[in-house]
Amino acid sequence: MTTLGRDIVINQARFESILHEHRLIVLKVVNAFTRHTEDQQDLIQEIRLQLWRAYPTYDSSRTFSTWMYQVALNTAISWSRSTQRSKRVSSLEQTLHEPTVVTEIDPDLYHLYDLINQLEPFNRALLLLYLDDLTHQEISDVLGISVSNVATKISRLKLRLRQLVTNSETPKGHINGTR
């Protein structure tokens, strides 16, 4: 094997290892943008491809997870805007009801997923980053908006969630039924 070939293999192995470590980011982003299994696979592939392409330009002074969020969100937003995706709902029940995973589902999570589904792609990205406990500065870096703008938008999102919960008349028992 040539030196170049060996470098590529080492790089790829390193990339796969880091990616595996942070795979939850990909899954979170994918789940926030599509719930259909085929679309999810498609988007996961697209994100991995974009991550692999962008990997050589990764600046190690930044945290990998923030960089990964940036690439994954950019890919997911482009993916969701590029074509009119079918409005196939939802493998969420299927996913959440997998016997190995969850035995009892918190109804609030449905409200949260409802909220996420109702948001525009950019607010969806913002909420995702907020829920993942990124600081306002980190969110500002990933999205490319000012820190004060981040704070304002998060307050609005909180208000929206409150309204959504208030307006919701869904009985808690529906969770185990079909939607």
Partner 1 sequence: MELDELKTKWTTINTQLDQTQASQRAMEQSLKQLMLKPSKNRLAFEPGYELIMAGLGLLWSAGFVASHFSEVQKAPIGIAPAMMLFGLCLFTVIVNIRQLILISDVNYANPVVKTQKTLSKVRSLRVRSTQAVLLACLPTWFLFPLFLLQSVVGYEVLLKFNFSWLAANVGVGVLLSAGLFLLARRFGKTSRFFRLVEEAFAGTAVKRAEESLEELEAFEMG
Query: Which residues are at the interface with partner 1 (CB under 8 A)?
Result: 16, 23-24, 26-28, 30-31, 37, 40-41, 44-46, 48-50, 52-54, 57-58, 67, 70-71, 73-75, 77-78, 81, 91, 94-96, 98, 100-102, 106, 108-109, 111-112, 120, 122-123, 125, 130-133, 141-146, 148-149, 152-154, 157-158, 161-162, 165
Nearer CB in complex with partner 1: 3/20: 20
The CA-based angle 143-86-110, given to 5 degrees, is 65
Nearer CB in complex with partner 1: 2/103: 103
Nearer CB in complex with partner 1: 2/57: 57
CA separation, residue 107 to residues 47, 110, 131, 167, 176 (Å): 30, 5, 17, 15, 10
Q: How far is the CB of 125 from partner 1 (least distance, A)?
A: 6
* Secondary structure (3-state) at 86: coil
Q: How far is the CB of 92 from partner 1 (least distance, A)?
A: 10
Closest CA to 122 of 170, 88, 81: 81
Q: Which two tokens stand for residue 4?
A: 């170049």
- 128, 29 in Cβ contact below 8 A? yes
Q: How far is the CB of 171 from partner 1 (least distance, A)?
A: 15
Q: What DSSP state is assigned to residue 101?
A: T
Q: How far is the CB of 105 from partner 1 (least distance, A)?
A: 8
Nearer CB in complex with partner 1: 89/131: 131
Q: How far is the CB of 179 from partner 1 (least distance, A)?
A: 17
CA separation, residue 58 to residues 15, 19, 68, 167 (Å): 11, 13, 9, 44
Q: Which two tokens stand for residue 22?
A: 């942070």
Nearer CB in complex with partner 1: 7/106: 106
